[in-house]
Amino acid sequence: MLSSLTQPGNVKNDVLSGITVALALVPEAVAFAFVAGVEPMIGLYAAFMMGLITSAIGGRPGMISGATGATAVVMVALVAQYGVQYLFAAVILAGLLQITAGIFKLGKFIRLVPYPVMLGFVNGLAIVIFLAQLGQFKILDNLGNHVWMQGHALYLMLGLVALTMAIIYLLPKLTTAVPSSLAAILTITLLVHGLDLDTRTVIDFVRDMVPEAQKATVTLAGELPSFSIPMVPVTLETLYIILPTAVIICLVGLIESLLTLSLIDEMTNTRGRGNKECIGQGVANTVNGFFGGMGGCAMIGQSMININSGGRGRLSGITAALVLLGFILFAAPFIEMIPLAALVGVMFVVVIGTFEWASFRIIRGINKEDAFVLFLVTAVTVIADLAIAVVIGVIVSALVFAWKHATHIAVKTHTDKDGWKVYELEGPLFFGSVQHFRDQFDAINDPQDVVIDFNNSRIWDSSGVDAIDGLADKYKEQGKTLHIRHISDECRQLLTKAQEYVEINVNEDPRYKIASDKLA
């Protein structure tokens, strides 16, 4: 039986999950708008447009995009020095660069991110999400400083958070008709206002971020975003100003989006299309710049809420975006009433589900170099930035790999009881090792039947696939039969000339992804 994470979605689950995500998007979008130094509505517009467009045309159904902290921190300096119009221009340029990356099929390279880097990214991100929620346990004192809650306020907040988490964990044991996260948010909201409990709500969070004179009038209500060309001079000087910010937004957005895509692939046992997601992110950011949004990228926290709530199809993300717009236009007072404790509880559950607890067991079984990379990426993610952490992790992993493996792949041969010659491979087959791989075979002098066993090897890129196809040609020319064992289903799909020689063993064949334009 399929687990709940690998089951296909349906309309009801997608719609209900989308509503849940929309509720969680509001405080995140507002918070990241303040991080970037822009008005809250700019963050909300970004969440709406990013979510709608990437869900409709992106490469990963079920993934949620919006305004994010990773891109917001890049924007703040540009906004502070030149104003929001320059930010809109930079977001447009970043979108065009992302579209270009998709057209040139650069999304496939995310498949080359090593597994320890992925583990470090996921664990670091879980810690970052957890630390971000701790800010909700602070209030403003009489001097306008943020201080930790104490006494009754703290105990009430903790109690409501715990109740939210309990509902999320226990409700699925009774019924799966409604996403447990949505039920928890609604229950806590009704409880707080029904009993008139004094706890912070979404509007309190927003008011804490604006000057005292604006607190009474601040609201999350707004209008439809309207088209407007950024009011900046069309000169080389403007390009010089916005280009550095645009490039960083482009890279950070794509790295975070494609890694989130890979994570959801693993969780749902499906495959997203990296190049298509690059284009979807690019179109969404470009539209943001023309319609007054701050842009963004994939949001791993909201994506995990969506997946855990049953959202699998494009409808879930589209629903989240449209419901968010409905909140802005028609239901802002209701959203402003949601207790922050309910949203914090939902995010704490996301943290627990996102963190790879199995990595503690894995560390005992992997070599010290991979363990070092895992801890390094986790630490840099928490201390600095997600994109920087991934880049550092990939570089360190590449250096370690180059030092240990160079360009060689080990081959052992023996003859089995049927007289077949068996080539047992060890090590990765990729562009650096294909020549040594080819040199190990003797198609002229080998017997009639030859086995290539990849049980202890992995095919990493299309160069490895091409090398196998070329080998199949050589043995076919000699009138001999090739038997290929223990490669993943994805590798088998990419083979052309050698596909007919693959022996399929569902129980023993490995499952892993390969960097390829055809599947990206």
What is the per-residue pLDDT for 410?
82
Q: Which residues contact 484 (CB under 8 A, 6 or more apart)?
A: 451, 452, 454, 468, 498, 501, 502, 503
Residue 394 domain boundaries: 368-405
Higher-confidence residue: 270 or 282? 282
Amino acid identity at 505: N
The confidence score (pLDDT) of residue 298 equals 94
CA–CA separation, 413 vs 330, rounded Å?
A: 71
Helix axes 386-405, 115-134, angle to 10 degrees: 160
Whichever domain contains 472, its CATH number is 3.30.750.24
Q: Which of the four pLDDT bands, split at 50, 70 and 90, describes residue 2? A: very low
Residue 334 shares a structural domain with residue 384: no
**In a domain? residue 513:** no
Q: What is the pLDDT of residue 404?
A: 66
The pLDDT value recorded for residue 329 is 93
Angle value at C-alpha 115, between 114 and 119, nearest 5 degrees:
125
Q: Per residue in 151-162, pLDDT tens?
A: 999 999 999 999
Tokens 């709500």 label which residue? 201
Same domain, 178 and 267: yes
- Interval 154-186: pLDDT, tens: 999 999 999 999 999 999 888 877 778 888 999
Q: Give the model confidence (pLDDT) of 60-89 as tens digits.
A: 999 999 998 778 878 988 998 999 999 999
Number of domains in the chain: 3
Residue 1 pLDDT > 50, yes or no? no
349 and 376: one domain? no
Question: What's the sign of the alpha-carbon dihedral 159, 164, 166, 171?
Answer: positive
Do 253 and 132 lie in a common domain?
A: yes
Q: Is the domain of 67 the same as that of 171?
A: yes
**Together in a domain, 228 and 344:** yes
Within 13 A of 43's CA, how many CA atoms are on the CB side?
24
pLDDT of residue 141: 79
Contact 52, 321 (CB under 8 A): yes
Q: CB of 340 within 8 A of CB of 160?
A: no
Shared domain for 45 and 165, answered yes or no, is yes
pLDDT in tens, 367-377: 778 888 889 98
Based on the fold, state whether residues 320 and 257 are members of the same structural domain.
yes
Q: Establish if 200 belongs to a structural domain.
A: yes
Confidence (pLDDT) at 159 = 96
Residue 239 belongs to some domain of the structure: yes
Q: Is residue 508 part of a domain?
A: no
Tell me whether residue 362 is in a domain: no
67 shares its domain with 167: yes
What's the whole-number mean pLDDT along residues 267-279? Answer: 90
Indicate whether 512 pLDDT > 70. Answer: no
pLDDT of amino acid 6: 54
Percentage of the chain exceeding pLDDT 70: 94
122/54: higher pLDDT: 54
Task: Give pLDDT, residue 366.
Answer: 64
Segment 454-468 mean pLDDT: 85
Same domain, 307 and 348: yes
DSSP string, 129-188: HHHHHHGGGEEE-TTS-EEE--HHHHHHHHHHHHHHHHHHHHHHHH--SS-HHHHHHHHH
Whether 470 shows a pLDDT value over 50: the answer reads yes
pLDDT grade, residue 229 (50/70/90)? very high
Nearest-angstrom CA–CA distance, 159 and 511: 43
Mean pLDDT for 98-125 is 84
Q: How high is the pLDDT of residue 306?
A: 93
What is the average pLDDT score of the chain?
86
pLDDT higher at 70 or 486: 486
Q: Report whether pLDDT(407) > 60.
A: no
Kindly state whether residue 482 falls inside one of the protein's structural domains: yes
Is 360 part of a structural domain of the chain?
no
Backbone phi and psi for residue 231, each to the nearest 5 degrees, phi listed first: -85, 75
Identify the residue with better confidence: 493 or 42.
Answer: 42
Answer yes or no: do 218 and 186 share one domain.
yes
Residue 209 has pLDDT above 50, yes or no: yes
CA distance 286 to 245: 14
74 and 176 belong to one structural domain: yes
Instruction: Tell me whether residue 157 is in a domain.
Output: yes
Q: What confidence tens digit (pLDDT) does each residue in 472-485 have?
A: 999 999 999 899 99
Q: Specify the higher pLDDT residue, 125 or 18.
A: 18
